[in-house]
C-alpha cells in the first residue's frame, strides 16, 4: 500500500540553524501539506501546496518557513533560522483531492531545537 | 469561523466497555468534510473515516461506529467492546469545501486509555 515517507525521523539542531525536513508524498497525489504538533497538543496546519505553489498558509508559517517541491517526488519544509518554540513533530500529508478525500500522513519528523 | 471541539480531554475505560468520543464542529460552509484520525503511542496519524456534509447516514465498521448529526453539529465516534489496542489519542477534524487548499482543522484530541 502506498504511503507517505518522511526523513529524518528525528532532527536535533541548535537555535538559529537552518533545517530541511523531507517528505515523499504518495505518487499520484496532487495536494501536499505540512502540519505540526507540539508535544501533547493538537495538530496544527502550516501550509498547503498545489500545482507548485502555496494554496494557503497559517499564521504560524511566517517568513522563516518555506516549502518546495524540487523534483517530481520530494516535498520539503525549510525553517531558515530555528527557534526553541519550533520544537515539535512535523507531519507531511498528501491527498488526491483537496478536502474531498482523506489526507494520508507520514510518520512525522521530531524536531528538537536546543 | 471554523472550529472543532473535543471536550473530553481524557477517557479511561476497562476493556470490553463501550466508549463514545464526542466531536462538535463549527463552520459557515454548507459543504464540508469531517474526519477521525487515530494517533497511537507510536505517534503516527491513522485515518479512520471521512464523512461529507450531505451524508448523514451513520456508519459502522467492525467495532467502530460514527454518528453524524448536522442539527447538533456533532460527529461522535463510538468504540464497542473496547480493547487495549484502542488506547490512543483520537482527533476529529474538519475540512471546508470553500477552502481550495483543503486544510484540516483538528480538535484538541481525546486521549483514550483502555485498561485490561
Supply the DSSP string of chain B, one letter for each residue. Answer: --EEE---SEEEEETT--EEE--EEE-S-SSEEEEEEEE-TT---EEEEEEETT----EEETTEEEEEEGGGTEEEEEESS--GGG-EEEEEEEEETT-TT---EE---EEEEEE-
Res A70: pLDDT:
86
Mean pLDDT, to the nearest integer, of B81-89?
97
Contact B101 A48 (CB under 8 A): yes
Q: CA B3 to CA B25: how far, in whole Å?
A: 6
Residue A98, pLDDT > 70, answer no
pLDDT band at B16 (very low <50, low <70, confident <90, very high): very high
Q: Do B102 and A45 touch (CB under 8 A)?
A: no
Kindly tell me if the per-residue pLDDT of B1 is higher than 90: no
Residue B57 confidence class, pLDDT cut points 50, 70, 90: confident
The percentage of residues in chain B with a pLDDT greater than 70, rounded to a whole number, is: 99
Mean pLDDT of chain A: 93
Enumerate residues 11 to 40 of chain B having a beta carbon within 8 A of any beta carbon in chain A. Answer: 33, 35, 37
> What b/e sequence results for A55-82 when a residue is b if at least 16 CB atoms lie within 10 Å of its CB, and e otherwise?
bbbbebbeeebebebeeeeebebebeeb
B97 and A CB contact within 8 Å: yes
CB distance B99–A56 less than 8 Å?
yes
Using pLDDT thresholds of 50, 70 and 90, give the confidence band for residue A101.
confident
* pLDDT value of residue A99: 63
| pLDDT at residue B85 in the model | 96
Confidence grade of residue A1 (pLDDT, cut at 50, 70, 90) = confident
**For residue range A22-38, what is the model confidence (pLDDT) as tens digits?**
999 999 898 999 999 99
pLDDT for residue A85 is more than 80: yes
Amino acid at each position: 500500500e502506498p504511503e507517505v515517507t518522511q526523513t529524518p525521523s528525528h532532527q536535533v539542531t541548535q537555535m538559529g540553524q537552518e533545517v530541511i525536513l523531507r517528505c515523499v508524498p504518495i505518487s499520484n497525489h496532487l495536494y501536499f501539506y505540512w502540519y505540526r504538533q507540539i508535544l501533547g497538543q493538537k495538530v496544527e496546519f502550516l501550509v498547503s501546496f498545489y500545482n507548485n505553489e502555496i494554496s494557503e498558509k497559517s499564521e504560524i508559517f511566517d517568513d522563516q518557513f518555506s516549502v518546495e517541491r524540487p523534483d517530481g517526488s520530494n516535498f520539503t519544509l525549510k525553517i531558515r533560522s530555528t527557534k526553541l518554540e519550533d520544537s515539535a513533530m512535523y507531519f507531511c500529508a498528501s491527498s488526491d483531492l483537496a478536502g474531498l478525500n482523506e489526507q494520508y500522513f507520514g510518520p512525522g519528523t521530531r524536531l528538537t531545537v536546543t | 469561523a471554523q472550529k472543532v471541539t473535543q471536550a473530553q480531554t481524557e477517557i479511561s475505560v476497562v476493556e470490553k466497555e463501550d466508549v463514545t468520543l464526542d466531536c462538535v464542529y463549527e463552520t459557515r460552509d454548507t459543504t464540508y468534510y469531517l474526519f477521525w484520525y487515530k494517533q497511537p503511542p507510536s505517534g503516527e496519524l491513522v485515518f479512520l473515516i471521512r464523512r461529507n456534509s450531505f451524508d448523514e447516514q451513520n456508519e459502522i465498521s467492525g467495532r467502530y461506529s460514527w454518528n453524524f448529526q448536522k442539527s447538533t453539529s456533532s460527529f461522535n465516534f463510538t468504540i464497542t467492546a473496547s480493547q487495549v489496542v484502542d488506547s490512543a489519542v483520537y482527533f476529529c477534524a474538519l475540512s471546508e469545501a470553500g477552502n481550495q487548499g483543503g486544510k484540516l482543522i483538528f480538535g484538541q484530541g481525546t486521549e483514550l486509555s483502555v485498561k485490561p
